[in-house]
């Protein structure tokens, strides 16, 4: 009997692996517009993924205003389509929960099998609702405009659902009944993995999934048009980046601004560590907390509000001109722009940047300070010979990370402070990509520039890591 149960558990484990793989694929595809099973009509946007179709009714119907007003389609059909997409997402969520529970002991797996069964059934119900919506759209009064059709992705999800139904049913039948007095448990390694998983998913969605947009670099694309192979241009935009004289001059100009401002930031990277050291030397804890709070708050102020503050102080009608009787618009003036941006950035970020060094100071052994005091060391000697050496490893890691990200110095600050007079000296690489793609509409070329910047940043990161390992004997990643 024990051997039979063991064989059943092994078979259930193999089926669970298949179930987890299919669930992972289902979750992966919900973010890609090209595999959206809910696109049963040409009125459903080509850029709409299943996730967006199931969570945003406004986005789903964004291109259907005329169809509703002309009574080509019924609002009920689209509500059914929206409900079907939402039900599929709920089913995938339950299947994901079941996959996580299948990593636990027998008791936890027995609860998870009901999640798996419910999730697969809900996915089937969602597909049935999408099919119902499709049948209703077939009866449109203007079929030429609606263009109702079942996408290939629909059949893909049918296959996923069928596999999940079979695997979840088999898993439920093969899984032995857990002891009545057992508790739900899971190995520590799996617990840590599941705790890490949400952050990994967020990183994937917001950091890696957008890389799918790199395909625009290989097409003659304009906003609102479709990506079809007749618009494929290969490496045309890559060669344009180097062969076009005006583009080459712009790249050199924005690289100069980017490297100059990032270089100034690296050269002044010691300011947060100095601020943290001196802040730590304030003996009055209440006054120290006030200073730390006041210097940290600017980090949480958006650059739009920072510009509003600058406008109130330095504009033609600002505080300075009002007090001095002048009429100089310091914000429009392009002189010393790199220094101005450095000062604004330092004011906004020095308190926040110092937090990591304040935490580092608290980790220094206090016995070192006591021994130095007994030996007659003064306050500045203790700071120089104990605090500074204790913070140098953290400083070097932050320095090398800054060098690795030298091409990525942000956009918000430079966007709000830019104007026609200071554009030549304030436009950095990120702002140039924004202006090129959003304002000028040259999306493929801006994509190429962004790709090159990302690749160079990765190379710099690995280079900085090698340098750190060679010089300090420690890597940073």
- Give 23-34 pLDDT, tens digit per residue: 999 998 998 888
Confidence of residue 1 (pLDDT cuts 50, 70, 90): very low
Over the stretch 154-182, which tens digit does the pLDDT of each residue have?
Answer: 999 999 999 999 988 888 787 778 777 77
DSSP conformational letter for 212: G
> What pLDDT shows up at residue 153?
92
Closest CA to 403 of 337, 314, 468: 468
pLDDT at 349 over 80: yes
Mean pLDDT of the chain: 86
Query: CA 219 to CA 231: how far, in whole Å?
Result: 5
Query: CA 117 to CA 305: how far, in whole Å?
Result: 51
Average pLDDT over residues 360-382: 88
Q: Are the C-beta atoms of 36 and 54 separated by less than 8 Å?
A: no
> What pLDDT shows up at residue 4?
46
> What pLDDT shows up at residue 475?
67
Q: Are the C-beta atoms of 440 and 388 separated by less than 8 Å?
A: no
Q: Are the C-beta atoms of 407 and 456 separated by less than 8 Å?
A: yes
The dihedral through the CA atoms of 370, 371, 375, 380 has a sign that is: negative
Burial readout 118-147 (b: 16 or more C-beta within 10 A, e: otherwise): bbbbbbbbbbebbbebbebbeebeeeeebe
> What pLDDT shows up at residue 38?
92
Q: Are the C-beta atoms of 465 and 477 separated by less than 8 Å?
A: yes
Overall pTM surpassing 0.85 (yes/no): no
Over the stretch 186-216, which tens digit does the pLDDT of each residue have?
Answer: 888 888 888 888 888 888 888 888 888 888 8
Confidence of residue 54 (pLDDT cuts 50, 70, 90): very high
Q: What percent of the chain is predicted at pLDDT more than 70?
A: 97
Average pLDDT over residues 44-72: 87
Average pLDDT over residues 214-236: 83
CATH 1.20.140 boundaries in the chain? 2-186
Better pLDDT: 225 or 70: 70
Domain 230-472 has CATH 3.40.190.10: no
> What pLDDT shows up at residue 131?
95
CATH 1.10.3720.10 boundaries in the chain? 230-472
Q: Are the C-beta atoms of 151 and 37 separated by less than 8 Å?
A: yes
Closest CA to 47 of 68, 26, 32, 62: 32
> What pLDDT shows up at residue 112?
85
Options 3.40.50, 1.20.1050, 3.30.360, 1.20.140; CATH of 2-186: 1.20.140
What the block records as the tokens of 237 is 């935009």
Highest mean pLDDT among 65-79, 116-130, 308-322: 116-130
For the ranges 59-63, 111-115, 249-253, 440-444, the lowest mean pLDDT is seen at 440-444
């Amino acid at each position: 009997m024990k051997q039979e149960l063991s064989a059943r558990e092994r078979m259930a484990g193999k089926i669970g692996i298949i179930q987890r793989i299919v669930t992972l694929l289902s979750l992966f595809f919900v973010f890609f517009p090209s595999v959206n099973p809910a696109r049963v009509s040409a009125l459903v946007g080509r850029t709409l993924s299943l996730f967006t179709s199931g969570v945003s009714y406004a986005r789903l119907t964004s291109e259907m205003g005329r169809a509703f007003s002309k009574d080509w389609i019924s609002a009920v059909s689209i509500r059914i389509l929206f409900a079907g997409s939402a039900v599929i997402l709920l089913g995938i969520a339950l299947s994901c929960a079941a996959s996580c529970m299948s990593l636990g002991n027998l008791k936890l797996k027995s609860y998870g099998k009901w999640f798996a069964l419910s999730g697969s059934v809900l996915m089937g119900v969602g597909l049935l609702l999408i099919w119902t919506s499709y049948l209703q759209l077939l009866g449109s009064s203007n079929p030429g405009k609606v263009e109702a059709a079942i996408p290939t992705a629909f059949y893909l999800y049918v296959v996923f659902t069928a596999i999940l139904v079979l695997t979840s049913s088999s898993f439920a039948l093969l899984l032995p009944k857990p002891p009545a007095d057992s508790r739900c448990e899971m190995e520590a390694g799996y617990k840590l993995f599941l705790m890490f998983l949400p952050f990994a998913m967020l990183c994937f969605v917001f950091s890696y999934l957008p890389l799918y947009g790199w395909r625009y670099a290989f097409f003659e694309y304009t906003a609102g048009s479709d990506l079809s192979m007749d618009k494929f241009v290969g490496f045309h935009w890559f060669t344009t980046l180097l062969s076009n004289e005006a583009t080459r001059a712009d790249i050199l100009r924005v690289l100069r601004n980017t490297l100059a401002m990032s270089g100034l930031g690296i050269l002044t990277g010691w300011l947060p560590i100095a601020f943290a050291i001196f802040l730590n030397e304030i003996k009055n804890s209440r006054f120290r907390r006030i200073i730390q709070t006041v210097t940290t708050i600017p980090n949480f102020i958006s650059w739009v509000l920072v510009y509003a503050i600058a406008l109130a102080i330095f504009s033609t009608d600002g505080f300075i001109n009002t007090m001095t009787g002048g009429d100089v618009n310091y914000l429009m003036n392009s002189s010393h722009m790199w220094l101005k941006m450095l000062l604004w950035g330092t004011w906004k970020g020095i308190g926040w940047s110092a937090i990591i060094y304040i935490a580092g100071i608290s980790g220094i052994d206090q016995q070192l300070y006591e021994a130095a005091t007994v030996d007659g060391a003064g306050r500045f000697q203790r700071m120089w010979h104990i605090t500074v050496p204790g913070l140098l490893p953290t400083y070097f890691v932050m320095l090398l990370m800054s060098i690795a990200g030298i091409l990525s110095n942000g956009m918000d600050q430079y966007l709000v402070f830019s104007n026609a007079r200071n554009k030549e000296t304030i436009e950095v690489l990120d702002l140039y990509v924004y202006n090129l793609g959003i304002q000028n509409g040259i999306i493929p070329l801006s994509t190429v520039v962004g790709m090159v910047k990302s690749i160079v940043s990765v190379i710099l990161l690995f280079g900085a890591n090698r340098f750190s390992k060679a010089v300090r004997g420690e890597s940073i990643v």
